[in-house]
Structure formats: structure tokens, C-alpha cells
Structure 1
């Protein structure tokens, strides 16, 4: 079972799960984490929230296929804001900016064979999504799920 990542943001209790998936980020997560370590910034895997995966697995074990009757009113999901792990956007911005800058100038061995242009585009999408919320003290995570 492979995971899919989406950016989730939270600012003033306004939750948004952004629809575009981060396919290259998840495929090259180990290389990105190694590069983050080299650059001295927080690894991307530190931003991943597994709440959706845990709820999907629990529902499958319980044989529960109808979760629509118990959706959280703030998130529209089977779980609420407090169930998820949140990080300050400023922490993520430091990592995303460092990776983007490095990848635009270098071809690191940690990502040998990776489609760097696509990877940079996904990291820039993270940066663009998070930047407006950073000054408002927003929070984020990279929400992992097993379905698109």
C-alpha cells in the first residue's frame, strides 16, 4: 500500500486539505531527508501526519465502510483538527526554501536519477501555499493517505 501526500493548512481554525498531491516528494522522501540533514534543516518526513492512514486502517479493521455519518464539522473528515499533528509554517518554510535553492543550483547525489524539475515544482507549490499563512502564525502538515 503506497501513501499519497497532500498539504494541509490550519490558520485561525480554518482547515484546508489542498487537493494537489506531492507524488515526487513521497517517492524521493529518503533522498530529500538525507539532503535536509546535509543542509541542516528539518527533514520533510518530520512534517508528515499519519492520522488519515490510521483512521483508514481502523475503519478497514472494523469493517466500517460508511464514515459519512460521522464527519467532523470543521474538517469534513472522519477526524478533527485536534487529532492531527501540526507544525509551525515557519519551520516548513525553512526546509522548503533550503531544498528549492539547493536543487536549483545543484544535482545532489542524494537524489541521483530523480526528476529534479518536477521535485522543485512540488516543493515550490508547498512554499507558495504556505507563504501567505506564515505571517498569520499558521500551521501545516503533509497529510498522508492511502487513497487519492
Structure 2
């Protein structure tokens, strides 16, 4: 099953793209619904194409569920897209494409496109993903508001 969720974000596209590539941004925009703990010493400052990260998923930031693997298949600065192939626990496929498109000098369009396969749990995981990505994009807007206040 697939989902696509987009938001207009009041930040220049190049600034949004810089944030997309930072591991700290993932931790911020998912905080509350989901947390991630690296199985290695630390997450890299910036995601790198070809790298694979293994993380412990923490529901609501406190309940450990499963080990999740994120493979950074493609990161394109020129197109402002990032494609990951992810899996773990009941989730066999979680292919996630993030894209940033400039709207004008001060805003951009942020999109999460996700393909999910989780066997008999696919519908349940797909429904959760709808909530999760809407929450992530809400947190993106909070992040941008905080950064523009400084």
C-alpha cells in the first residue's frame, strides 16, 4: 500500500533540504510518536547515500518494539530527494521518498511518499503511517517556527 502526504512549509527549499539530511531532524520530527535509538555509538550528523543505519524503534519514545534498518539508497542534492528502503519487525517494506520543491523564495512543498508491505499487518501499519506522517509534517512546521524565531 502507498501513501503520499505533502505540506507547504514556510522555509526556503534549500534550507529545508539541509534539514532533511540531518539525523537530528528525524529525531525532532518523530519525537512523541516514535523515538529511535542507534545500535551504533551515534547517528551521523548527516545521512549519507549508501549507508545503512540500524535503530531500535521506541513507540511514543518509551516502548521498545523492534530493530529497524534504514538503507539510504539515493540522496540527490540537485533534485532535493532522498530515497530510503527500510524494514524491521512486522514491516517487510517501508520505501520512503522525501522530496522538496521550491514554491517561492520563502517556502517549499515537502512530500513524504511511502510504500508499505507488512503482510497481514499492512493495513494496520498503513493506517499508523497516515497518522505518523501527518504528525511529522506538523512537527516540521514547529521546527521551522522555532528556527525563524532565533
Q: Which has the larger radius of gyration?
A: 1
Taking structure 1 as the reference length, what is the TM-score of the superposition? 0.28
What is the TM-score when the length of structure 2 is the normalising length?
Answer: 0.27
Structure whose residues are more often strand by fraction:
2
Of Structure 1 and Structure 2, which has the larger fraction of its residues in helix?
A: 1
